[in-house]
Chains A and B, each alone.
Chain A
C-alpha cells in the first residue's frame, strides 16, 4: 500500500516534470510565432534546466538561503500529490481543496525566506511585490471556490469533479466566476500583466536575482510544478477535471496556451495597479457571481 503510493508519487513527479517543461518550451515557440519569429526548439527548457544543474555552484548566502530553496521545492512537490489528474490520484480520496491551498503557501513562503536571506534589495522588493499581489488574487479566487464548495457540499476536488461529470461543467453554470478565476490564476503564475514581482528590466528578475547554478535549476523546476498545481486547480474546479489522464491533459494544454497567448500581447501592471484591478473588478464580479449562484441554489 505505502510502496504503491510512493511509486505513484514518483511517476507523478516525473510525468509532471516532463509534461510541463515540454509545454512551457512549446509555449515559447507559440510566443515566438506571435512575434513573427522562428523560436527555440520545444525541448529548450530541458536544456536550460539541466545546464543550470550542471553548473558550478560556489555562492551561498547562509543557511536560510539554502533551506528556503529546499522548503519551496519540497512544499510544491508535496502539494502536487493532493490533486486529482483525471482518473489518476496518488492517494485515493485524499484530494482536499483546502489542503492544496494550505500547502501551496509553503512554496511561496520558502521562496520569500530564501530571497530575503540573500540580503539583496532587488530580491526584497520583488518578494514584497509578490506577497502584495497575493493579497489581490487570493480573495476573488477563494470567494468563487467557496461558492462552488458550498453548492456541492464538499471540499474534496475528486467529489467536485464527479459532480461536474454528472451535472455539467461549472464554467457553464457560473461563467463570470470562471473568468475571475482564470485571471486570478494568471496572477498566481505571474503571467504578463501581473509579472511585476519578476520584472527583469526593472528589478533584475526580482526574487531570483541572487540565485545561480543549481539553486536556479531547482527553482525553475519548482516553478513548473507550481504551474501544474495552479492550472490543474482551474481545470478541476471549472472544466470538470477529466475522466482519463489524457482528457485532463488536453484541457490543461488548452487553458495554459490560452494564458500564454493572452499574456504575450499585454504590458505590465504596476503592483498597486494589479491589486487595485483584482479588488475592483475581480472582487466585485466574484461577489456578483456568488449572489447569483447562491440565489439560484437557495431558491
Chain B
C-alpha cells in the first residue's frame, strides 16, 4: 500500500516535469506562443516542448475562440491523446466567449465540452502569464489534482450530451 502511494507520487513528479504540448491554434492566441517558446522566455527549461501529433502529446492547448466546426476537430484530437492528458484553456474566449460572446457560430464555455484543467485568462495573456499558468499546472499535476481526464471518462454521457447539443447528430461523422 505504501509502495503504491510512493510509486504514484514518483510518477506524478515525472509527469509534471515533462509536458509535451499540442497547441491547437484556432484564434489569435497562437501569436503569444513563439516568444514563450524561444530565447526570451524559454519554456523548455520547465520541460515543456511542442509536439507535432496528438498521439505523443500530454497537453492540449486551445488558444482562442472555438467555432462549432473547429470544436469537432478539437474533440477528435482530444480523444486521440493517451490517457494522463490535460486541457489548458487559453485566453478569455475559452472561459466565457470573450469578444465573440454573442456570435452565432462560436461556443462560449469550453468546459461544457472538454474537461479543462487550467484556464489562463487574458486577451491575450502575456508570456509571463503563460509561464505562470504552466507552473500552476505542474503544481496541480504533482499534487494529483489535475484529473480532468478521469472526470471525462466518468461523466462521458454528460459531455457527449453537451457536444451533441451544439454539433447535432454529425458528431461521429468525419465531414
* Binary contact readout A267-280 vs B (1 if CB under 8 angstroms, 0 otherwise): 00000000000000
**B11 CB contacts on chain A under 8 angstroms:** 54
> Judging by beta carbons under 8 Å apart, are A38 and B53 in contact?
no
Which of A37, A51, A54, A204 contacts B42 (CB under 8 A)? A37
Judge if A163 is at the interface, Cβ distance under 8 Å: no
Which residues B54-104 have CB closer than 8 A to chain A? 55-56, 58, 81-84
**A36 and B39 in contact (CB under 8 A), knowing A47-B47, A56-B82?**
yes
Which of B15, B45, B56 contacts A208 (CB under 8 A)? B56
Determine how close the nearest CB of chain A comes to the CB of B58; give it in whole angstroms. Answer: 8
- A-B contact number at CB 8 A: 75
* Binary contact readout A48-67 vs B (1 if CB under 8 angstroms, 0 otherwise): 10110011111100000000
Judge if A201 is at the interface, Cβ distance under 8 Å: yes
Which of A47, A55, A211 contacts B17 (CB under 8 A)? A47
Judge if A9 is at the interface, Cβ distance under 8 Å: no
Determine how close the nearest CB of chain B comes to the CB of A209; give it in whole angstroms. Answer: 5
Q: How many Å lie between the Cα of A56 and that of B82 in the bound state?
A: 6
A118 — nearest CB in chain B belongs to which residue?
B55
B48 — nearest CB in chain A belongs to which residue?
A40
**A204 CB contacts on chain B under 8 angstroms:** 52-53
* Binary contact readout B1-39 vs A (1 if CB under 8 angstroms, 0 otherwise): 000000000010011011010000000000000000011
**A54 CB contacts on chain B under 8 angstroms:** 11, 14-15
* Binary contact readout A257-290 vs B (1 if CB under 8 angstroms, 0 otherwise): 0000000000000000000000000000000000
* Binary contact readout A28-40 vs B (1 if CB under 8 angstroms, 0 otherwise): 1000100111111
Determine how close the nearest CB of chain B comes to the CB of A135; give it in whole angstroms. Answer: 26
In terms of DSSP, what is the predominant structure of the interface of chain B? loop
Q: How many Å lie between the Cα of A214 and that of B110 in the bound state?
A: 30
**A58 and B83 in contact (CB under 8 A), knowing A39-B42, A39-B45, A47-B47?**
yes
Total number of B residues with any Cβ neighbor in A under 8 Å: 23
Judge if B144 is at the interface, Cβ distance under 8 Å: no
Judge if A94 is at the interface, Cβ distance under 8 Å: no
Q: How many Å lie between the Cα of A204 and that of B80 in the bound state?
A: 15
**A210 CB contacts on chain B under 8 angstroms:** 53, 55
**B51 CB contacts on chain A under 8 angstroms:** 200, 205
A198 — nearest CB in chain B belongs to which residue?
B52
**B45 CB contacts on chain A under 8 angstroms:** 32, 37-40
Determine how close the nearest CB of chain B comes to the CB of A208; give it in whole angstroms. Answer: 7
Q: B-contacting residues of A (Cβ < 8 Å)?
A: 28, 32, 35-40, 44, 47-48, 50-51, 54-59, 200-201, 204-205, 208-213, 216
Task: List 4 additional contacts besides A32-B44, A37-B42; criterion CB under 8 Å.
Answer: A44-B47, A48-B20, A54-B14, A204-B53
